[in-house]
Every structure is written in C-alpha cells, then in structure tokens.
Structure 1
Amino acid sequence: MALRLAIVLSSLVATPALAASGASDPSGVWMRGDGNARVRIAPCGGNICATNVWIGDTSGGENVGDRLVLTVSAGNEGKLVGTAYDPQRGLTYSMEMTIKPRQLQTRGCVLGGLLCKSVNWSRDD
C-alpha cells in the first residue's frame, strides 16, 4: 500500500537544479496506468512533490492529498534518480523516473532494493 503511493508520482514543475541539468521535466498531472490515481508533480520548497489529486478506489489506503516529497537529480539516459519520502507513513524509497513527452515510468524500491515496483503513467493535463 505504501509502495503503491510511492509509485503514484504525479505533477511537479522542475526545480532549477533539474532545469540546469537538462533533465526532462516531469511537471504536470499524470494518470496511473491502472486508471485509479491522478497525481500532480510540482515544486514544493527545495524539492518536488507528487500529490494525489484524484483516487478512484480508496480501499487500498490511498487518499486525495497524500504526497511524496522527491529529492531527485539527473541520472544516466535522461532518468531522474533519488529518493521519495512518504510523510504519511514515515517511509523513504529509492526512486527512478523515466520521462517522455506523454509518458512517465516510475520505479520505487524498499529494503535496499529487494522489493521494487514499476508503474507506467500517461500525461493527463
């Protein structure tokens, strides 16, 4: 459940550090591949936040307003890599984002990379 939220990543505007690095900009609203969540990825303080703006079925523990605080930087092959902190659950995940103009893939891992999940997103704004 918490890992699902970590992978929900949604609308954010690139921070100056990302813009300067030439990294792709994940800013905006994204629909999760299963159609159950929309997230907005946008700047928040010195980081990027992915905030749930719509959840179809809340029985999995996801709620509108839940957010992840992302600390990412440009990695290899145009990916953003770093961490995602879930303040609702007090958990930190390793995070990797692959950004294309209308598609986003996120990969979140816990337990030192022993448990990972990838999720595909489509731009919804």
Structure 2
Amino acid sequence: MGFYFEVALRVLLGFQLVFWGLNGFFHWVKIPPSGPVIDGFVMACNQTKFIMPTVKLLEIILGFFLIIGFVVPASLLGLAPVVFVITGLHLFHNSKPWAVLLPFCGPYAILLIIHSLTWLRLFH
C-alpha cells in the first residue's frame, strides 16, 4: 500500500507541475489575482523574460520525472526553491493561501518524508 501511495503522490504532484508549467507558456487557464505583492512579483519575473520561463521549464521537466519515477529524490531537490518561493509568497501575502498550498505543498512534503532515508544517506 505504501508503494501505491507514493506513486499516487508523485503522479499527482507531477501532473500539477507539468500542467502549470505548460500553462505558463500557453496560458490555457487564467491565474486569478492573489494580491498586489504576489502579482507584482509574478509580473517582475515575467518581465525579465528569463526567470519565469526557466521556472516553468523546470516545473515541466521535473514534473515529468516525478510522473515516470525517474530520479525522484533529485527532482524533489530541484523543486525545493520553487516550492519555497510559492509557499513563502502565499503564506505571507495571500489572505487564503490553503487553496494553493495544500494540493501543492502537501504532496511535496509527504514525498520528502517518504524519501527521507535517501536524504539521510546523502548527508550522513
């Protein structure tokens, strides 16, 4: 059962990452406004023409890796800065952060715990 739970979390998180990463390029779904600070940050990242495309490309590639189960610990590590920024922005600048954080950060945090033995081997 634990194996299937881990696979379900990987696929859930991976599909979210791939969808929102592709949405960053194709704009299928309009992102609702999140507040002036978050919207300003996203606008600044978009205006650089480098940061947001890089983040979206990372989301697509690492999300695909999570879906197929390829280098899962490394994919989680590569996603850490993205998750950190999304979590921080929504916790501190969104009046209702849980609609964003629970479906995104929940599976990520659980996958980190599931792969904690891998992390211990790396740092021990």
Fold equivalence (TM over 0.5): no
Larger Rg: 2
Is the helix fraction higher in 1 or 2? 2
Bigger strand share: 1
- Please, what TM-score do these two structures have when normalized by structure 2? 0.27
TM-score by length of 1: 0.27
**Larger RCO: Structure 1 or Structure 2 (Cα < 8 Å, ≥ 6 residues apart)?**
2
